[in-house]
Structure 1
Amino acid sequence: MLNKCARFERKPKAETGADSAILPSHLRPFHSREEYRLVRQTHQQLLHSSYYWGPLSMVEAHKTLAHSSPGTFLIRDSGQPDVFFTLSYQSAVGPVSVRVMLDKLLFSLYGCQKTFPSLFALLAFYNKLSRPHRRQRPELLKQMCRRALVRTYGADKVRTLPGLSMEVKDYVLAYPHAI
């Protein structure tokens, strides 16, 4: 399913004059303040994910994933001037990279019609993406605990959990996803 989505063309996006000094990425194609906020929030959460690799080239991403099992994925900065992020994953036949598109505040994979309110909802939908390839290995225990809390109680309930300090609650909510 992922491979089928990457075949179609994408309409170019208009560029606005966003303040490049505070952008979370190397790109500036914002259509609105809401789009800027969404990309910035996504980027901030990706920084806590440990499967976001930043400015990694396609060649480097494919080399990193080459000996991984199918379903292993990472998110990296896109090399395309009108795209923020790229999903690179190990398919049954080898590494593949697909642009993550953002249009009208919805995320999708290049050429796919299915859209999502967040990049993390997109990742959760594609069940072939089963294992994040994390930069830090072994993964930190506190990151594993954060995901376990979100998976067990849900991000919306973390603030009300007794026995957790505000510092721990803030840490958990910095990346409120179970991926």
Structure 2
Amino acid sequence: MKELRNTGWYWGSLTANEAKEILQDTSEGTFLLRDSSQRDYLFTISAMTSAGPTNLRIEFKHGKFKLDSVVLVKPKLKQFDSVVHLVEYYVQLSRSTPPNGTVQLLLTKPAYTTTPSLQHLCRIAINRRTRRVHDLPLPNRLKDYLTDYTYNV
């Protein structure tokens, strides 16, 4: 849960209507993660799409997270050890896939609960450039801070 809280885009117990209100005046691709209001799911991604705010449930089964989907597509969806890895994957997919209609959902811009610190934004920028933080010519304390949150979203 610590890594989830560190993201800045995890809102905790937020209703679908509250998420819709937060996303209402944002651009397509803006998203947040919240606790699911449905008992069978832990989390929900709320995202602004071209059709307006939408919600995607995240399934947790056998220790893995994946997006909920129709039965025929479920076996094809990637599974992840953490919900942050899942979001990171779909953000990278959204940012790297040219807009040709194959990606129906864009996750490009997190809706932060509060303005992230400059330190955290720098950590994300460094993590986007390298996964080899321990090789950087930095003090150990700074390396520890960078490796405390290894995601690039």
TM-score interval for Structure 1 and Structure 2 normalised by the shorter chain: 0.7 to 0.9
The offset of 1:94, in angstroms, is 0.7
* Structure-2 residue corresponding to 1:84: 42
Cα distance in 2 for partners of 1:74, 1:64 equals: 9
| 2:130 counterpart of 1:153 | yes
Shift of 1:121: 3.5
Shift of 1:58: 0.9
Q: Distance in 2 between matches of 1:164 and 1:116?
A: 35
Q: 1:131: Cα distance to partner?
A: 0.5
Which runs of 5 or more structure 2 residues have no equivalent in the other structure?
95-105
Aligned counterpart in structure 2 of residue 173 of structure 1, from 133, 147, 150:
147
Amino acid at match of 1:60: E
Aligned residues of 1:48 and 1:174 also touching (Cα < 8 A)? no
Aligned to 2:101: none
Identity among equivalent positions (%) equals 32
Q: Which amino acid aligns with 2:120?
A: Q
SS at match of 2:22: helix
Q: Does the 8 A contact of 2:46 with 2:54 survive in 1?
A: yes
Does 2:30 align with 1:72? yes
For the Cα contact (< 8 Å) 1:66–1:94, is it kept in 2? yes
Partner of 1:164: 139
TM-score, normalization: structure 2? Answer: 0.79
Determine the structure 2 residue equivalent to 1:54: 12
Instruction: Provide the rounded CA distance (Å) in 1 between the counterparts of 2:7 and 2:119.
Output: 12
- Name the aligned partner's letter for residue 146 of structure 1: R
Contact persistence 1:77–1:85 (CA under 8 A): yes
Runs of 4+ in 1 over 4 A off after TM superposition: none
Alignment coverage as a number of residue pairs: 133
The one-letter code of the counterpart of 2:54 is V
Q: Return 5+ residue gaps in structure 1 as ranges.
A: 1-42
Partner of 2:78: 115
**Partner residue, 2:103:** none
Normalized against structure 1, the TM-score is what?
0.68
Q: Aligned-pair distance for 1:120?
A: 3.2
AA of the residue aligned to 2:5: L
The one-character-per-residue Cα deviations of 1:17-59 (angstroms, maximum 9, x if unpaired) are: xxxxxxxxxxxxxxxxxxxxxxxxxx22111110011111111
1:51–1:132: 8 Å Cα contact kept in structure 2? yes
Q: Deviations over 1:87-110 (max 9, x none)?
A: 000010111111111112222111
Retained in 1: the 8 A contact 2:11–2:113?
yes
Q: Residue type of the partner of 1:164? A: P
